[in-house]
Amino acid sequence: MSKIDDLFAEFDVPDLTAGVDEVGRGPLCGDVVTAAVILDPSKPIVGLNDSKKLTEKRREALFIEIKEKALSYFIARASVEEIDEINILQASLLAMHRAVAGLAVQPEFVLVDGNRVPNWPYRAQAVVKGDSRVPAIAAASILAKVTRDREMAELDAVYPGYGLAGHKGYPTKVHLEALELLGVTPIHRRSYAPVRAILEAKQ
């Protein structure tokens, strides 16, 4: 992680600051998962970084450590049905809102990964590439990614043949070919173009 002091000074960030991130905007199936984390300054966690830059083994280890050491955390989601109804951006913002609202300790300030902040009552700031710049956002990205990856592995057993455990629902060649061959499942996002095209072709 880069030095965070200047960033905190820029946003006038208090101690009770939550980091928020989401995982799962791009996949063709499954919920979008978010997490909110308030770190405990007295219990530092070494090695926090953007979850995509960490190995699976390191993410799993940090997942446990974050849950043990964080002052407060909450993992939330928006469903496939909500994604199809209100679109993925609004569903992601809704899931972020749920994550912060679920914290046992309510934050004084919220730092959100990306360039959009949900419509909520909290003082907040969006931080582009925040999962590489802000430890609390990095922690949130790890909780969200490990949670969603585990769910995709479980769904792989429910819907075999799609390769969900490998590509995590993203539109890889393997996934697209499986959709053509096996069809659309209840966990697929019908509003997404590749899924919608298959459904329309079968009408």
The pLDDT value recorded for residue 14 is 73
Is 173 among the domain residues?
no
pLDDT tens-digit map of 76-131: 999 999 999 999 999 999 999 999 999 999 999 999 999 999 999 999 999 999 99
CATH of the domain at 110: 3.30.420.10
CA distances from 171 to 42, 123, 141, 155, 179 (A): 42, 36, 21, 16, 10
CB 137 within 8 A of CB 113: yes
> What is the domain count for the chain?
1
Higher-scoring residue by pLDDT: 14, 189: 189
Q: Could you tell me if residue 126 is inside a domain?
A: yes
Q: How far apart are CA 25 and CA 169, in angstroms?
A: 10
Kindly state whether residue 61 falls inside one of the protein's structural domains: yes
pTM over 0.75: yes
User: Which structural domain, as residue segments, surrounds residue 54?
Assistant: 5-151
Q: Which residues pair with 125 in a beta bridge?
A: 111
Judge whether 30 lies within some domain: yes
Judged by DSSP in three states, 131 sits in helix
Question: pLDDT tens across 28-78, in order?
Answer: 999 999 999 999 999 999 999 989 999 999 999 999 999 999 999 999 999
